[in-house]
Amino acid sequence: MAFPGRLIWPLPALLAWGSAWGVFLLLQIAGLPSLAALTVACLLGVGFSVLGGTTMRRVMIGVGFPLSLAVSGIAQVPAWGWLLPLALLLLIYPLNAWRDAPVFPTPANALRDLAKNASLSDGALVLDAGCGLGDGLKALRLSYPAAQLHGLEWSWPLRAACALRCPWARVRQGDIWRADWSPYDMVYLFQRPESMDRAAGKARAQMRRGAWLVSLEFEVKSMAPKARLVAPDGRPVWLYQLP
């Protein structure tokens, strides 16, 4: 999917690999053991993997550095040490989450007009389903400062980082598709186009009458929108009210 402001491929990969190599060599010069330097450099490379727009590109970014290091033969690392990059990649973004949205942040002011079109009472429960690092929660807070904001994220490292960035929200680790949406007055999503029918079905089955389903960028074809807003970067924000 296109993401405004995202680096054009293959620049994210080159940036990740170059940075990982630079960190690895600096740590080697500083006298750090090869395995420890590999760990730090791989963690950096895996962090950069969120810049890949597709699953294959994220994998290429995440494993590019250790593969090039293995081919170069300059590092004395035990055989099991080469499993480290894969373990780190799965830790940050588990396998069953790759089918959902990549870790792209919600722009800060993307939801600035939300409250004008979808009013919520003070204390209303709002869920950011797939909250990542918390940018969606921050955008929701600008529109609904009196709401009770909740975040749900499958990756526990991202969940931990989100909780640190958004201490005013209740952030939990879990699967958005298995979670119960019925308590919430609004569920916000920034997913994939192919996820939206599933989200609509879940909303119809669980959310109460009058509740809101909000999607950044991607439309639910099977539901008539209550409103279509335009974020400052030009992307649409779709508002659906149940039933």
What confidence tens digit (pLDDT) does each residue in 83-96 have?
Answer: 666 666 666 555 44
Q: What is the pLDDT of residues 140-155, one digit of tens each?
A: 999 999 999 999 988 7
Q: What is the pLDDT of residues 68-117, one digit of tens each?
A: 877 777 766 666 665 666 666 666 555 445 444 555 678 889 999 999 99
pLDDT at residue number 92 = 58
pLDDT at residue number 1 = 36
Rounded Cα gap, residues 161 and 87, in angstroms: 19
Phi, psi for 226 (deg, rounded to 5): -75, -35
Would the pLDDT of 54 be above 70?
Answer: no
Rounded Cα gap, residues 226 and 231, in angstroms: 16
Task: Name the pTM for this structure.
Answer: 0.65
Cis before 10? omega within 30: yes
| Domain 114-241: CATH superfamily, name plus number | Vaccinia Virus protein VP39 (3.40.50.150)
Rounded Cα gap, residues 102 and 228, in angstroms: 23
Length, in residues, of the chain: 243
Rounded Cα gap, residues 63 and 90, in angstroms: 11
Nearest by Cα to 154 from 210, 107, 91: 91
59-63, long-range: CB < 8 A, 24+ apart? 59/89, 60/13, 61/12, 61/13, 61/16, 61/17, 62/88, 62/89, 63/89
Residue for token digits 């539901």? 223
Q: Which helix (H) or strand (E) is 24 found in, with range?
A: helix 11-29
Answer whether 97's CB lies under 8 Å from 154's CB. yes
Domain ranges in the chain are: 11-92, 114-241
Percentage of the chain beyond pLDDT 90 is 47
Would the pLDDT of 2 be above 70?
Answer: no
- Reduced to 3 states (helix: H, G, I; strand: E, B; else coil), residue 223 is coil
Rounded Cα gap, residues 120 and 182, in angstroms: 16
Rounded Cα gap, residues 47 and 92, in angstroms: 8
Rounded Cα gap, residues 216 and 172, in angstroms: 21
Answer whether 242's CB lies under 8 Å from 208's CB. yes
